[in-house]
Amino acid sequence: MELSWLRTFITAAQFNNFRKASQQLFISQPSVTVHIKLLEKELGVSLFERKGKSIKLTEAGRLYLKHAQKLISLYEDGITELQSYSQGYTAKLTIAISPLIADNVLPYVLKQYLKRHPEVEISVKIIESHEIERAVLEEKVDIGLSCVHSYHPQIESTKLYSDKVILVAPHDGRDSESAYPLEEEELLESNYLLTHNHPDYWDDLCSTVKRFYPAARMMEVSQIHITKRFIVEGLGVSYLPSSTVRRELLEGRMLEVRRDTFDLPEANIYSIIKYLHKEQTEFLEFLSGFRL
């Protein structure tokens, strides 16, 4: 049996059309027909029902399709692994991270880790925090880095970092030494509070803000990088993890608002794993050595 026959069969099944399969595979239509006939002879069954120019999978064809896909996938995985080995990689880690962590914590840490462990091939998947647990459970990834703690019995979830949450506002252009300090109450009464840009703390925080400042107007903005852009452009204020706005504060594009009305939550980063193997252990130990 030739792999080319299987590729032709899978492509023909995808399009239900030999002509489109030939265009996709860059071979002639008669070649497609020959491949299918040779595969059918090898298997001893008909894979397609033919009615004029139209085709559709037989019951046997539908049954065999998933096996053909597995065979091709297994072959391609082997080639990929061999190529990785030839490039000097002896281990591989697939990491799922939330967009917030990808934008904030991981780039520097990952750069340092790869300098120290050039033999490890890293694959990064950007996944929302609430979906990372499932990716780990289904073993689509080796490690999850999430803003949300997991309580699943098959998951080990460990807090890696705690980050204080602060109230930030756009810079008002005034001199910091001579200007009056910004007041939380005044800001919340005259600006939109941009909410739900972090997956963990906003529901409780919104309730607290409403209790102390009933007149506060809120606008949901689901991503922190968009929230920061809105703040810089003067569209509102927000309570954000301090590490996510460090650059904007240093560059003078935002101001931290001093306040003592109520306690603010922490923004945490958790590791989420199903199996604690050597590579996972080494990566998490390296990661835990850094501070926000």
Q: Are 104 and 228 in contact (CB under 8 A)?
A: no
d(CA 211, CA 9): 64
Same domain, 52 and 95: no
Phi first, then psi: what are they for 123, rounded to 5°?
-125, 130
Write down the pLDDT at residue 78: 75
d(CA 287, CA 109): 7
Same domain, 230 and 168: yes
Percent of the chain scoring above 70 in pLDDT:
92
Phi first, then psi: what are they for 230, rounded to 5°?
-65, -40
Within 8 A by CB and 6+ apart from 262, the residues are 208, 212
d(CA 133, CA 127): 10
Residue 266 has pLDDT above 60, yes or no: yes
Q: Are 122 and 110 in contact (CB under 8 A)?
A: yes
Q: Hey, what amino acid is at 180? A: Y
Same domain, 24 and 77: yes
Same domain, 198 and 53: no
Same domain, 98 and 167: no
For 73, 126, 178, the CA distances from 99, given in Å and listed in that order, are: 29, 6, 38
pTM of the model: 0.66
Who has greater pLDDT, 208 or 292?
A: 208
Same domain, 212 and 176: yes
Phi first, then psi: what are they for 182, rounded to 5°?
-70, 145
Same domain, 110 and 37: no
Distance of CA 108 to the CA centre of its chain: 17
Residue 36 has pLDDT above 80, yes or no: yes
Q: Using one digit for the tens of pLDDT, what is the confidence trace for 99-156?
A: 888 877 777 888 888 888 888 888 899 999 999 999 999 999 999 999 999 999 999 9
Residue among 82, 72, 74, 77 nearest 4 (CA): 72
Q: Is residue 178 very low, low, confident or very high in pLDDT (cuts 50, 70, 90)?
A: very low
Q: Cα angle at 153 between 152 and 156, to 5 degrees?
A: 80
Tokens for 222, please give them: 């689901």
Domain that holds residue 125: 91-160+268-288
Which range, of 21-25, 88-92, 156-160, 179-183, averages the lowest pLDDT? Answer: 88-92
Tokens for 113, please give them: 């880790």
Q: Cα angle at 273 between 267 and 279, to 5 degrees?
A: 115
Tokens for 85, please give them: 């080995």
Q: Using one digit for the tens of pLDDT, what is the confidence trace for 213-224?
A: 999 999 999 889
d(CA 69, CA 193): 50
The residue to which tokens 């595969």 are assigned: 39
We report the CATH number of the domain holding residue 208 as 3.40.190.290
Same domain, 188 and 135: no
Rg (CA), the chain: 27
Residue where one domain finishes, among candidates 86, 111, 131: 86
Helices 18-25/3-15 angle, 10° precision: 130
d(CA 268, CA 252): 26
Q: Are 167 and 236 in contact (CB under 8 A)?
A: no
